[in-house]
Amino acid sequence: MKKLALITIILLLVQPEGHGWGFRAHQRINRIAVYTLPGEMFGFYKSHIDYLTEHAVDADKRRYGSKDEAARHYIDLDHFGVYPFEAVPRNWKKAVERLSEDTLQAYGIVPWQVERMYYQLVKAFKEKNTPAILRLSADIGHYIADAHVPLHTTENYNGQLTGQHGIHGLLESRLPELFDTEYDLVTGKAKPFDKPLDRIWTAVLSSAAAVDCVLYLERQTREAIPVDRHYVYEQKGSRTVKAYAVEYAGDYHKRLHGLIEIRMRDAIACVGAFWYTAWLDAGQPDLDQLEKTVLDETEKQKLAEEEKLYRKGVIQGREESY
C-alpha cells in the first residue's frame, strides 16, 4: 500500500505542465472571446462556450503525440535578424522560397498556422459543419493566443540564452494564475479585418517588440530578490510542484506594468475578430439553424488518444518548463 502511494506521488510529480499560455489563460481567452461576437453569432457560440473553453488547450495536448505540432505554436523571429524582421517574408510561399520549409519548421510557423486554420474555418462555416466549426474555433483561438505571447517569438523562449531559465512558464502561466483576477479583459465588440495574414502578423510583431522588455525586467527582479527566495514548493491539487515564489512573481508582475493583461486582452480581441471575419467571409450562414452535434465518433477517439499521450507526458519537440 505504501509502495503504491509512493508510486502515485512520483507519477503526480512528473505530470506535465501547460505550454503556451497556461491552460487557464488559454481557456479564459477562448471563453471571453465569445462575448465579443455580434448577435447573429453569439447564441451559437454561447451555447458551446464550455466546449470552446475546454478545448482551448487541445493544441498543446497534441504536442505529446505529434512531432509536427510544436512548430505551430511559435516563430523564433530573432533567428532571422532584428525587428521588424524583413528577412522573413510574410507570405508562406515566399517565405518557403527564401528560407526553405525545413528552416521554417525548425523555427516555427505560428502566423501561417493561424492563416491556414482561418481558411479551414471559413470552409466549415460554408459547409455548416458544426463539429468542424467548433473544433477549428477552439484551435485557432489557441494558436492566436500563443502568437500574443512575447516569448513565442524568440529563440530565447525560456531565457536559456541569458541565464533566465524558467521565464517562459513564469510569464505565461504563473503570472496569469496569480494575478488574472485583477485583469480587466473586456475588449468591446469584435472588429473584422481585410486580410487574415496581415492581422496575425500585426499580433506576432507586437509580441516580438516586447521580448527585450520582458527579459530585461525579469533580470531586474532576479537581482532585486535574494536567490533563496526565488522558488517555493506548492501543492497543486494532489501534486507538489516547484513554482516561482509569490513575492518574486509579484515583483516581476509589477515591473511589467500591465503587459500580461494587455497581451491577454489583445488575444481575446483577435480571437473574436478571426471567428467573426471567417463567418463574414463564409457569407454569414445562419448559425441558429445548425446541428447541435459537437463531436463525431472519429473525433472523440482522436481526442481520447491525444489525452492518453498527454497524460504519459512524452512531449515531442520543444520543452518549456524548468
In sequence order, the β-bridge partners of residue 234 are 241
> Is residue 159 a contact point for Zn ion (CB under 5 A)?
no
Nearer to Zn ion, 60 or 76 (CB): 60
Handedness of CA 76, 81, 85, 91 (dihedral sign): negative
User: Rounded distance, CA 262 to CA 317, Å?
Assistant: 29
Q: How far is the CB of 255 from Zn ion (least distance, A)?
A: 25
Nearer to Zn ion, 29 or 41 (CB): 29
With CB atoms as reference, the residue minimizing the distance to Zn ion is: 20
Q: How far is the CB of 146 from Zn ion (least distance, A)?
A: 4
Q: Applying CB under 5 A, which part among 72-80, 169-177, 204-212, 298-306 lies near Zn ion? A: 72-80
Nearest alpha-carbon partner for 32 in 141, 135, 171, 114:
141
Compute the CA torsion angle 87, 104, 28, 203 (nearest 10 deg): 10
By CB under 5 A, the residues from 97 to 126 that bind Zn ion are none
Q: How far is the CB of 130 from Zn ion (least distance, A)?
A: 24
Q: Which of 55, 73, 148, 174 binds Zn ion (CB under 5 A)?
A: 73
Three-state secondary-structure class, residue 178? helix
Binding mask 49-68 for Zn ion (x = CB under 5 A): -----------x--------
| Residue whose C-alpha cell is 502561466 | 173
Q: Applying CB under 5 A, which part among 5-13, 82-90, 138-146, 291-299 lies near Zn ion? A: 138-146
Q: Which of 69, 146, 177, 218 binds Zn ion (CB under 5 A)?
A: 146
Q: How far is the CB of 43 from Zn ion (least distance, A)?
A: 29
Nearer to Zn ion, 73 or 168 (CB): 73
Provide the grid cell at 120. Answer: 479551414
Q: How far is the CB of 17 from Zn ion (least distance, A)?
A: 12
Distance between start and end Cα atoms, the chain: 32
Nearest alpha-carbon partner for 173 in 257, 236, 222, 243:
243
Nearer to Zn ion, 208 or 287 (CB): 208
Nearest alpha-carbon partner for 146 in 244, 67, 309, 29:
29
User: Rounded distance, CA 175 to CA 244, Å?
Assistant: 9
By CB under 5 A, the residues from 12 to 41 that bind Zn ion are 20
Nearest alpha-carbon partner for 66 in 302, 299, 295:
302
Q: How far is the CB of 59 from Zn ion (least distance, A)?
A: 6
Q: Applying CB under 5 A, which part among 97-105, 142-150, 199-207, 264-272 lies near Zn ion? A: 142-150
Q: Determine the distance from the C-alpha atom of residue 138 to the mean position of all C-alpha atoms in its chain, rounded to a whole number.
A: 11
**DSSP-assigned letters across all residues of 212-232:** HHHHHHHHHHHHHS-GGGSEE
Q: Which residues bind Zn ion (CB under 5 A)?
A: 20, 60, 73, 146
